[in-house]
Chains A and B, each alone.
Chain A
């Protein structure tokens, strides 16, 4: 890029830690026992970001396809792990594998469309584009799946009488679980839709701010922002849709009986 951004000097950044010190003093003053948490958080963030910074610089410098793909794969794995941790309701092994599959399918389909049709960068695996943009798709889909999975699991538990009531009357499992599936899907994509509404007025999206900081014209930045929002919505919708439709089938056996576990 022609217009670079002012780099932050090492000692300038150290000065940034002074801000943390101020907060620490505040905590001490008010006798709020959160100092250790804050220190751990700061240290973790520092180590993680320094590591990622060097790794990313290395990948960006090498321009190798396999490295880009490996980075995307690692993000997917971390995202799925994160979902397993964040969903507080027990999931069967089969449901867990559906979580992983819907995450992979939904995001990869969107990525293919996004990088080949919408952006058409050359080469297609250009890490400068693929890694941050995939990260956003994966991150948002992760949140969507977490919401969707939780709603679905809770829905089947709370509404088992309604579902069985429908089955008793001769409803198919698909019909009996339709409302729960739709509710879970809606709950999962609603935050994404809502975030579109405030965009540019209530807040400046992170990616757009970042591009403007690095000297990209605002009009280019908003085009990127719009493109990524379309892709995020699609990716969240695809992943959650696969999850709720496929995942809901795990609650029924081959005799169309409701099987609740946990």
Chain B
């Protein structure tokens, strides 16, 4: 198991009795707006800590793991993509810098952009990208880090259907090829049905359905 949650409570927002997320699988999380999906991902990334209960990552209580090390293994893509100053290239490299990893060559960067379905030169000023392009840039930044666990919070909310499918397909393939754990919040059931190994439904801060597909 990648994650195990036991009697987890966070404010009045999330209350999960017992819940597991399998390793090296694709888990999709669905649920209506305000149900607590983002909050759950933030808990897994230890950006927030539960008020009660425990979260285990690979059997170890998250609160006993160095948070920086944890976040370098369990990387999260926020719902609103973060764009730092500078070019597309700067934005890709800053992820490596944050994680204290070595720089890579330009062709590796271009390849990652291609995987994220972002057809823009590395020299493009990142702030001029459209909303959907920023989303794919942020996704490419994470794929470049090749983390153990990838947490994606609605990675395609700003994309049209066609692009959405290609992006999800690409990231799913990426995770499978490298046997990584992929946990993503998606807004459509059909996406979950098509790509997920496990689909989780969240409602009112609790897990109401869990199905292996």
Contact residues of A with B, CB < 8 Å? 161-162, 164-172, 175-176, 255-258
Given contacts A164-B47, A255-B67, A257-B49, contact A170 B78 (CB under 8 A): no
Q: Which residues of B contact A172 (CB under 8 A)?
A: 68
How far apart are the CA atoms of A175 and B98 in the complex, in Å?
Answer: 7
Q: Are B82 and A255 in contact (CB under 8 A)?
A: no
Residues of chain A within 8 A (CB-CB) of B141 are 169
Interface residues in B, total, Cβ within 8 A = 26
Kindly state whether residue B180 has any CB partner on chain A within 8 Å: no
26 contacts between A and B (CB under 8 A): A165-B82, A165-B84, A166-B82, A166-B98, A168-B71, A168-B76, A168-B77, A168-B78, A168-B82, A169-B75, A169-B99, A169-B142, A169-B145, A170-B68, A170-B75, A170-B98, A170-B100, A171-B98, A175-B97, A176-B98, A255-B49, A255-B67, A257-B46, A257-B47, A257-B49, A258-B47
- The residue in B45, B48, B98, B141 that gathers the most chain A C-beta atoms within 10 A of its C-beta is B98
A169 to B178, alpha carbons, bound, how many Å?
19
CA distance A175 to B76 in the complex (A): 17
Q: A164-B78, A169-B145, A170-B69 are in contact. List 4 more A-B contacts (CB 8 A).
A: A165-B82, A169-B98, A170-B68, A256-B71
Closest chain B CB from A234 CB (angstroms) = 30
**Interface residues in chain B, defined as those with a beta carbon under 8 Å from any beta carbon in chain A:** 45-49, 63, 67-69, 71-72, 75-78, 80, 82, 84, 95, 97-100, 141-142, 145
Q: Please, how many angstroms separate the alpha-carbon atoms of A258 and B42 in the complex?
A: 12
B-side contacts of A255, CB under 8 Å:
46, 49, 63, 67
A166 CA to B77 CA, complexed, in Å: 10
**Residues of chain A contacted by B63 (CB below 8 angstroms):** 255
| Contact in complex: A162, B98 (CB < 8 Å) | no
Q: Which chain A residues lie closer than 8 Å to B68 at the CB level?
A: 170-172, 256
Specify which chain A residues have a CB less than 8 angstroms from the CB of B78 in the assembled complex: 161, 164-165, 168
Partner among B47, B49, B69, B84 whose Cβ is within 8 Å of the Cβ of A168: B47
A168 to B70, CA, bound (A): 10
- Whether A167 contacts B80 in the complex (CB less than 8 A), given A255-B63, A257-B48, A257-B49, comes out as no
Complex-state Cα separation, A110 to B127, whole angstroms: 42
A180 → chain B closest CB, angstroms? 12
Chain B residue contacts of A165, Cβ below 8 A? 78, 82, 84
Closest chain A residue to B49, Cβ basis: A255
Chain A's closest residue to B45 (CB) is: A168
Write the nearest CB–CB distance from B183 to chain A, whole angstroms.
13
- The interface residues of chain A lying within 8 Å CB-to-CB of B99 are 169-171
Contact A256 B67 (CB under 8 A): yes
Q: Which of B49, B71, B72, B84 has the most CB of A within 10 A?
A: B71
Residue in A162, A165, A168, A172 whose Cβ sees the most chain B Cβ within 10 Å = A168
Docked Cα-Cα span, A256 to B98, in Å, equals: 14
A162 to B134, CA, bound (A): 14
Instruction: Pick the contact of B71: A161, A162, A169 (CB < 8 A).
Output: A169
CB closest residue in chain A, given B71? A170
Q: Which residues of A contact B71 (CB under 8 A)?
A: 167-170, 256
Question: Within 8 Å CB of A161, what residues of B?
Answer: 78, 80, 82
CA distance in complex: A167, B70 (Å): 11
Residue with the greatest number of chain A CB neighbours at <10 A, chosen from B68, B77, B80, B84:
B68
A256 to B82, CA, bound (A): 19
| Residues of chain A lying within 8 A (CB to CB) of residue B72 | 170
The minimal Cβ–Cβ distance linking A176 to chain B, given in whole angstroms, is 8
Chain A residues near B77 (CB-CB < 8 A): 168
Please indicate the chain A residues that have their CB under 8 angstroms from the CB of B80 in the complex: 161
Q: How far is the CA of A255 from the CA of B145 in the complex (A)?
A: 22
